[in-house]
Structure 1
Amino acid sequence: MKSMPMRPTAPLRLHGLLALCALWVASGNSWAGGIMIYEAGQEGNGLANAGAAALTDDPSVLMSNPAGITQLAGTQISANAQVILGSLTFSRDASNQFDGNEGGNALQWLPGASFFISHQINERSAVGFGMYGNFGLALDYDDDWAGRYFTQEAAVIGVSFQPTIAHQFTDQLSVGIGPRLVYGYYRTEMAIDNNLLGVLDRPDGQLEYKDTDVGTGVNLGVLYKLNERTQIGLAYTSKVKLQFKDSPQVRNVSNPIINAALRRLDVDALELDMNVPQTVLLSVAHRLDPQWKLLGSLGWQDWSDFGEIGVAVDANAGGVDRTVNRQYKDTWHASVGAQYQANSKLRWNMGLGYDSSAVDEKDRTVDNPMGDTWRLATGVNYQVEAGLDLHLAYTLVWLGDMDSEQTKARSGTTLSGTFRNSALHIIGGGATWRF
């Protein structure tokens, strides 16, 4: 990582970002926030999450609603892969006071894979297993960009392992439970301002932090058949807490004020907590006729529980300031979609979804540039033979233009600009075998 000359202030901000899950560097506590990733390469990628808790086409349903595997005959296996591409570019405006460039495209491509299996024990009971990643992304700004004291690189990767058991208690009602083990990886890197009150011109220092942890949670689900054409699914996922406790690597810090601030934060024993929020999802699937199936979902995500604690450090000769409360709020999801059975082999999926923002516009920051999110998705499923289906899907996740303005509390320096035409492109596909 190269060093850069500094502005005539001495601020230090210790927090990392990723576009969909942000972690704040804190003394003893931090939080996570962002939008959920519903896509894991499964056929449902092409539905924008519409009907996810009520649609029982393949064993990937155990991720959205564990009860759904009671509707799958025999043994079924689904193996999938996907790639997430993105565009997140920051443009400075006239209010910006930081030097450096605009950071380039910060969203890096992120590959992913998932695996699901279900097995029918008898006419009423089924077991299953899923391995999937439904959160995680990576950011990589230019080293010398204007916001380098907030973040330069950040990544979080989460992989879930979920054994599942489900039972159909009546002809209409099924219940399922899936204990979940989540393996998390986190890394962040940012520049440290060594310039002492504008008197000297020193190159940047550097802070890097990375660690792994394992957390646990549970997925619960209920599936109810209203009639032969209509199913309703209700699913709950508990929060999963990940604690990262490794010591960060701090290099080339020559500013005594910054060194004092780091000592006050006890940076050598930094603990970061990332909480994946609890969620509730209600879905419906209705077969209109032999060709058309209509789908819908409503969801809630408890981001407000994790947005009240954050720590920022802005140091100068007068001391060190800390701030808390990043104003996170709960988010809501709505989606509608349809499946069209063109013939006995080909099924076409389409969906439109919306997620509210976890922050108001006035609280948006460059290290967590969230906004209202629209999903537009489509895909196809093709039956190669009686026991083998192939599927391919594409989802556009659109965030649009997002203004961001941040001012250091002690130095008074402002970083200001707009993320323009922000979007994710998710391409996924795979195969389902039935025995």
Structure 2
Amino acid sequence: MKKTTIARLLPAALLALGSGAASAAGFQLLEQNASGIGNAYAGSAAVAENASTIFFNPAGMTQLQAREVSLGISAVRPSFEFKNKGSVGGALSGNGDDAGDWGAIPNAYLSWALNKDVYVGLGISGPFGLVTDYDGPWVGGAQSVSFEIKTVNVNPSLAWRVNDKVSLGFGVNWQRMEAQYERFVGIAPGALSASTAELDVDGDAWGWNVGALFTLSPSTKVGVSYRSKVDHKLKGDIKVSGPSALLNAAGSSDSDVDVELPDTFIVSTTQKLSDRWEMLGDLSWTGWSSIKKVDIERTSGPFNGQIAQTLHTEFKDTWRVALGANYLLNDAWKLKFGIAYDQTPVKDKERRLVSLPDNDRTWFSAGAQWKVSKTNTLDVGASYLYVPKTKIDNDQRSPDPRVNRGRVTGEYDSSVWILGAQYSMAF
């Protein structure tokens, strides 16, 4: 009888909390708290208004009360509607309807002061995620029918107040990743069967993060933070199913996938303009070029050691800039506003994947913070992400029908809605 241990159950339970739908460019998830949604995450490494600073800048814990806990959830609804403009799909046809759907991204943080200058903390969140799911045997089904990425990140952290002007922070990250990918096998005219290939892999890896917070004056703070790359070596299997027993046996095998998730750097500032107005700014960089391609390698069966498929991503590094403002309405209520521009790591339409029909996006955000009491705060926020027309011309045709995945040519109408709430409490 196979034993189920707590070590196996814990990551599975955390991943089951939610499946993140891509909101930031690429498949990065900025929703590591919901309190930053209203400002479009401007000032993320400098704000330090609750324990979620553990993710964006652990040095910010020195700005908190002796013990704080913060819990939040964000609901993300991307939309990817494809319009065919000359695709070559063999027996496959159709636009796949809307490949986006609702996803939930939870988070939890705890900060604890050991003394007036040293703080420890723990954060649990999901920094990367993606779901695209096309309905029916659509024209691009040989490239992807569904693709899902889930991560959970557990982040123990330490902060040290050097003096009244400078605080430093450090964290280690244990990260669990799961990926599922499904597509049709073969698209030759008249050859469409029920044959599908499904990849299911998972694994865990370690990373680290550091940060610093500078209090330049009572009204001005600057924060900088860096999160390392995380090199995942995922293991699992490929399962081919359909009417051909020979194809099923030849195509199914164990598999390995290596993915190096990108590092990030953030510099942020907050500036009080008056007793009521505060401005926030953010400039962040993501090293997406760590993902040049993704090889799916067979590790068993008749084709052991061969590459089953390569996803040619060739991502480029990206920048994101955000500006925000807070208005203190009264002692209980603060209003939040924000706008941001977020670059895509996708270089061009030829290298855009149907599993990630990503493009540049512009954030329009608003929210509110309610101080329920001196020790309890509720944040709510909403964002609409404008995405321009997204062209695709991904040609994966081949004379070999076993690897012929057709050509997908057209454009996507895309957008994203984000809604979130964060509850924070000091005790």
Q: TM-score range by the shorter chain?
A: 0.7 to 0.9
Correspondence 1:178 to 2:171 = yes
Question: Deviation of residue 254 (structure 1)?
Answer: 3.6
**Equivalent residues in 2 for 1:202-213, closer than 5 Å:** 202-213=192-203
Helix, strand or coil: the match of 2:49? coil
1:338 — aligned with what? 325
Correspondence 1:117 to 2:107 = no
1:327 — aligned with what? 314
1:292 — aligned with what? 277
The alignment of Structure 1 onto Structure 2 pairs a total of residues equal to: 392
CA 1:88–1:350: 2 relative to 1, 3 Å: same
1:301 — aligned with what? 286
Correspondence 1:386 to 2:370 = no
Correspondence 1:61 to 2:61 = no
1:418 — aligned with what? 411
Q: Is the contact made by 1:376 and 1:397 (CA closer than 8 Å) also made in structure 2?
A: yes
Question: Deviation of residue 253 (structure 1)?
Answer: 6.4
Question: Deviation of residue 42 (structure 1)?
Answer: 2.6
Question: Deviation of residue 94 (structure 1)?
Answer: 3.6
Looking at structure 2, the residues matched to 343 and 386 of structure 1 have their Cα atoms a distance apart, in angstroms, of: 14
Helix, strand or coil: the match of 2:217? coil
1:357 — aligned with what? 344
Q: Is the contact made by 2:59 and 2:169 (CA closer than 8 Å) also made in structure 1?
A: yes
**Equivalent residues in 2 for 1:307-318, closer than 5 Å:** 307-308=292-293, 310=295
Looking at structure 1, the residues matched to 66 and 309 of structure 2 have their Cα atoms a distance apart, in angstroms, of: 58
Moved over 6 A (4+): 320-324
Helix, strand or coil: the match of 1:68? helix
Question: Deviation of residue 409 (structure 1)?
Answer: 4.3
Q: Is the contact made by 1:383 and 1:390 (CA closer than 8 Å) also made in structure 2?
A: yes
Question: Deviation of residue 324 (structure 1)?
Answer: 7.6
Question: Deviation of residue 20 (structure 1)?
Answer: 3.8
Question: Deviation of residue 194 (structure 1)?
Answer: 6.7
Looking at structure 1, the residues matched to 248 and 200 of structure 2 have their Cα atoms a distance apart, in angstroms, of: 21
TM-score calculated relative to the size of structure 2 = 0.85
1:192 — aligned with what? 185
Amino acid at match of 1:208: E
Looking at structure 2, the residues matched to 19 and 417 of structure 1 have their Cα atoms a distance apart, in angstroms, of: 22
Amino acid at match of 2:230: V
CA 1:381–1:202: 2 relative to 1, 3 Å: closer
1:245 — aligned with what? 235
Instruction: Tell me the alpha carbon deviations over residues 334-391 of structure 1, each in whole angstroms, 9 at most, x when there is no partner.
Output: 1110111111010111111111121222322323212112111111110111211111
Question: Deviation of residue 182 (structure 1)?
Answer: 1.1
Instruction: Tell me the alpha carbon deviations over residues 57-109 of structure 1, each in whole angstroms, 9 at most, x when there is no partner.
Output: 11111110010001112111111112111211111014555531100111121
2:257 — aligned with what? 272
Q: Is the contact made by 1:350 and 1:377 (CA closer than 8 Å) also made in structure 2?
A: yes
Correspondence 1:371 to 2:363 = no
Amino acid at match of 1:278: D
Match of 2:74 among 71, 82, 86: 82
Match of 1:407 among 370, 395, 398: 395
TM-score calculated relative to the size of structure 1 = 0.84
Looking at structure 2, the residues matched to 130 and 155 of structure 1 have their Cα atoms a distance apart, in angstroms, of: 23
CA 1:402–1:310: 2 relative to 1, 3 Å: farther
Q: Is the contact made by 1:19 and 1:368 (CA closer than 8 Å) also made in structure 2?
A: no
2:8 — aligned with what? none
Stretch moving more, 229-238 or 244-253: 244-253
Gaps of 5+ in 1: 1-17, 22-32, 313-319
- RMSD over aligned Cα atoms: 2.6
Q: Is the contact made by 1:194 and 1:254 (CA closer than 8 Å) also made in structure 2?
A: no
Q: Is the contact made by 1:83 and 1:426 (CA closer than 8 Å) also made in structure 2?
A: yes
Question: Deviation of residue 41 (structure 1)?
Answer: 4.0
CA 1:350–1:238: 2 relative to 1, 3 Å: same
Question: Deviation of residue 186 (structure 1)?
Answer: 1.4
Q: Is the contact made by 1:194 and 1:204 (CA closer than 8 Å) also made in structure 2?
A: no
Instruction: Tell me the alpha carbon deviations over residues 261-313 of structure 1, each in whole angstroms, 9 at most, x when there is no partner.
Output: x66xxx6232112322101000011111111111101111111121245579x
Q: Is the contact made by 1:193 and 1:204 (CA closer than 8 Å) also made in structure 2?
A: no
Amino acid at match of 1:112: I
Amino acid at match of 1:392: V
Looking at structure 2, the residues matched to 213 and 97 of structure 1 have their Cα atoms a distance apart, in angstroms, of: 34
Q: Is the contact made by 1:361 and 1:371 (CA closer than 8 Å) also made in structure 2?
A: no
Match of 1:227 among 217, 231, 244: 217
Stretch moving more, 246-255 or 271-280: 246-255
Looking at structure 2, the residues matched to 385 and 323 of structure 1 have their Cα atoms a distance apart, in angstroms, of: 54
2:159 — aligned with what? 166
Match of 1:138 among 131, 136, 143: 131
Q: Is the contact made by 1:42 and 1:60 (CA closer than 8 Å) also made in structure 2?
A: no
CA 1:249–1:399: 2 relative to 1, 3 Å: same
1:27 — aligned with what? none
Helix, strand or coil: the match of 1:167? strand
Question: Deviation of residue 392 (structure 1)?
Answer: 0.8
Helix, strand or coil: the match of 1:63? helix
Correspondence 1:38 to 2:30 = yes
Q: Is the contact made by 1:47 and 1:349 (CA closer than 8 Å) also made in structure 2?
A: yes
Q: Is the contact made by 2:397 and 2:407 (CA closer than 8 Å) also made in structure 1?
A: no
Instruction: Tell me the alpha carbon deviations over residues 17-75 of structure 1, each in whole angstroms, 9 at most, x when there is no partner.
Output: x9749xxxxxxxxxxx9242211343112111200001111111111001000111211
CA 1:176–1:338: 2 relative to 1, 3 Å: same
CA 1:39–1:322: 2 relative to 1, 3 Å: closer
CA 1:101–1:430: 2 relative to 1, 3 Å: same
Helix, strand or coil: the match of 1:247? strand
